[in-house]
Amino acid sequence: MRIITRAAILLLIVGIQGCATYGIISGIPSEGQKSVFKDGRKTLISIKQNTVALAPNTETVTSGQRADFVIAVHNGTSQDILFSTDDVTATANTNGQLTTLKVFSYDELVAEEKNRRAWAAVAVALQGAAESMNAANAGYSNTFGTYSGSTYSNYGTKTYSSGSYSGTTYNYAAAQTARNVAQANSEARFARLEAEGRENLKNLSSTILKKETIFPAAWHGGLIKVALPEVAEQPQDIKFVVKVVEEQHEFKFTQEKLDGK
């Protein structure tokens, strides 16, 4: 029964993955903008007093999921500029219907990761408790049997009898060994969870755009995560507006369904 259940789950996972729809994000330069390749990415560059560059981290996106965009801002003024994801907005136009797209801040992503770790820790703790209970029961063993025979009374009468018996014994050493294994497995899972969480936070810190003061003539940039709409049969317009102080830079992209996907 366990094998059938695991096989069914595996088939369900494969089926879900097979049903995923993919799209392609392409930048369309507006008047006064440049389209260049930077680190292999097609990048749109808007040059005004300040300069803003924006590009999808990868052109292929999964329908309805988040996508990473690389953004960089150059301070062309003589004053310090404060810049963050608060200065980036995005909308999608699907068949004439406008939708605001969520642009996630660094703080939101960090809080999300910590929340994920907290729930994962609860799951690990519950699994460990279940394994500890099973380990405690591992020391018990049951014996069953039947018996039959005959006896003679004082008067020489022969009597036949039969029945069954059962008994329970407890092996402390076996139970302790099972508990030790369960505890070691639980500690290993917590260690993996902790290491994974540290690595995820490290990656967020090193890649995601954070609020920053940009000094004159300096650049600042990073990744921004955007919740893209589900891929539609018809091309969709994706527009970003990047505000640098009072200066606005608009970027246009299209999201199209990937053929055969």
pLDDT tens, per residue, the chain with 261 residues: 344 444 444 444 444 445 678 999 999 999 889 999 988 889 999 999 999 999 999 999 999 899 999 999 999 999 999 999 999 999 999 888 999 999 999 999 999 999 988 888 888 788 878 877 777 776 666 666 665 666 666 666 666 666 665 667 767 777 778 778 878 888 888 888 888 888 988 888 889 999 999 999 999 999 999 999 999 889 999 999 999 999 999 999 999 998 765
Asked if 69 and 56 count as a contact pair (C-beta separation under 8 A), the reply is: yes
End-to-end CA, the chain: 35
The pLDDT of residue 76: 96
What value, to the nearest 5°, has the Cα angle with vertex 26 and ends 65 and 56?
55
> Which residue is it, tokens 């606005």?
248
Largest CA distance in the chain: 123
* pTM, two decimal places: 0.74
The predicted pLDDT at position 50 comes to: 97
